[in-house]
């Protein structure tokens, strides 16, 4: 779907530097060439290359592309992190960074992030607890209730609201934005 990026997070507890996550994130954006490009730039330019982890570069690429998408289509891009709870055991700092960035993205209307996860574990660590407005978890809504909420309260057009409902069903969090 246009404007929606799906990232499947690998469940590898030995992947402390989250290299597999970085690779999966890059792949979801068609950036599998990041390591090759970095190697090529190192050979050509010397050591003046971007040393950020792949997942950070992929996040920046998503945000940059999201800005273009928002300008072109007048709607927010969406990123879906599936199995994000896998980061709790491997590298919780990465999870914290993603949550902080998602909160800022929501506050500044840059993008929408959905986390498919074990909710209790995440809420204990959540950056949302520091949000400007309290987060209200809304249980499973019917299709009609979800569409009304997304189109009337969140001002999302009906086509995009339908896509969001198809993607996550009636599970919603109201971040007060």
**pTM for the full predicted model:** 0.60
Q: Which pLDDT tens digit goes with each residue over 112-131? A: 998 876 554 555 555 555 55
Q: Which pLDDT tens digit goes with each residue over 31-73? A: 755 455 555 555 566 665 667 888 998 999 999 999 999 999 9
Distances (CA, A) of 112 to 38, 51, 58, 105, 142: 29, 27, 16, 7, 21
Mean pLDDT of 76-85: 88
């Amino acid at each position: 779907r246009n404007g929606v990026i799906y990232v499947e997070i690998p469940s590898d507890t030995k992947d402390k530097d989250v290299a597999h996550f970085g690779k999966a994130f890059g792949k979801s954006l068609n950036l599998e060439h990041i390591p090759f490009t970095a190697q090529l730039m190192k050979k050509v330019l010397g050591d003046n290359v971007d040393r950020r982890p792949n997942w950070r570069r992929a996040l920046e690429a998503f945000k940059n592309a999201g800005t273009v998408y928002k300008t072109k289509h007048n709607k927010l891009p969406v990123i879906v992190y599936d199995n994000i709870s896998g980061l709790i055991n491997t590298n919780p700092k990465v999870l914290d960074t993603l949550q902080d960035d998602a909160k800022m993205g929501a506050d500044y209307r840059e993008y929408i992030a959905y986390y498919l996860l074990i909710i209790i574990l995440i809420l204990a660590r959540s950056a949302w607890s520091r949000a400007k407005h309290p987060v209200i978890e809304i249980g499973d809504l019917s299709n009609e209730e979800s569409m009304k909420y997304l189109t009337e309260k969140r001002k999302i057009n009906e086509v995009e609201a339908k896509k969001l409902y198809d993607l996550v069903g009636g599970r919603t969090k109201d971040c007060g934005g």
